[in-house]
Copies of this chain bind each other. A is one copy, B any other.
């Protein structure tokens, strides 16, 4: 109907058709208000009701307890690499489980602001692996323990989270938030850039246990202080109003689809289809260790760099896009976030079969 391609981009990434249609429907005149959401004062009654509804829906869908604050912050996940040590280190130590490139960036940024310690370095295994509890020793005391729950570039994902007991666990969930139910109470802080499962780029959601707010160091830029954002209900300055509205539509869509349990079932089915196919093939090879595999980003190789390139080229001709791996990692990658349908994953597998047959 719209002649759309199947978009396997790692983020920004494909959105549910229903969400795009709703955005378009309301674009010139949002529900009789006479203006687009983009044109609304962030202090107007209508926008505040969109904003509150977005927060409430997210809280409901993710089962966020009342002792956690939801903040909407600009700067994406990368800004949080700085904000976390600046707000949480408080003269203590931050321990980093470095399982990928973004966790490493977060660790390097923390080193600039205080005592940051690398608890596990996955680079020796080319970031193919997520450590189990025997591969690192959790500290007895710390300001926080940090991890990146899903490594978009390498296609790995934490299956079970470390039990850090009284130490706040901080997680970058940019690429797997809302993909499965999680027990928020096990975390001190969860954050995510919105451009994968939560809508469009230019926004990060920060879910923080309220007692952790207010410990920022004196050099923290005002806008980066969680206490300022909490006090102003994310409106200390003009927030990215349209991105927040889209986040609300995404959360409502997840709810309509049956919530996080249903999302997990759908995501597991998609990932299983792809990984099962990879495992029986002698042509393709998965990148990640089997027990570390991501449900969101399926990373794999053909037998050669030349065939990888050919795969990308022919997949585009077949109506699929963004299957090229990240420039840092090479190979191929299919990102299959919440919005990717099972049918479209099947189209990819059919293409992979055909390509294997023609090039084996």
Contact = CB atoms under 8 A, between A and B. Distances in A.
A121 to B, nearest CB: 20
Interface centre among A17, A78, A221, A223 (most CB of B within 10 A): A221
B242 A201 contact: yes
A160 interface: no
Interface in A12-62: 12-15, 17, 20-21, 23-24, 27-29, 32-36, 38-44
Interface string A175-202: 0000000000000000001010001111
Contact of A246 (B21, B38, B203): B38
Interface string A344-355: 000000000000
A32 B243 CA distance: 24
Output the residue of A32, A76, A223 with the most chain B CB within 10 A. Answer: A223
A7 B86 CA distance: 40
A79 interface: yes
Interface string A216-228: 0011011110000
Given A15-B38, A79-B74, A201-B241, A24 B21 contact: no
Interface range, A side: 35 or more
Contact of A12 (B41, B195, B202): B41
A223 B75 contact: yes
A298 interface: no
Given A2-B28, A201-B240, 19 more contacts: A9-B39, A11-B41, A12-B38, A12-B39, A12-B41, A12-B241, A17-B28, A24-B28, A35-B321, A38-B246, A44-B321, A75-B237, A76-B238, A78-B223, A81-B223, A113-B219, A200-B241, A202-B203, A202-B240
A78 B28 contact: no
Contacts of A44: 9, 321-322
Q: Which 7 A-B pairs have the closest CB atoms?
A: A202-B240, A5-B34, A82-B221, A78-B237, A74-B74, A2-B28, A9-B41
A280 interface: no
Contact of A219 (B15, B36, B78, B219): B219
Interface of A: 2-5, 7, 9-15, 17, 20-21, 23-24, 27-29, 32-36, 38-44, 74-79, 81-83, 86, 109, 112-113, 193, 195, 199-203, 218-219, 221-224, 236-243, 246, 319, 321-322, 327
Given A40-B12, A44-B322, A203-B202, A109 B238 contact: no
Contact of A78 (B195, B201, B236): B236
A83 B74 CA distance: 14
A279 to B, nearest CB: 28
Nearest to A78: B237
Contact of A221 (B12, B42, B221): B221
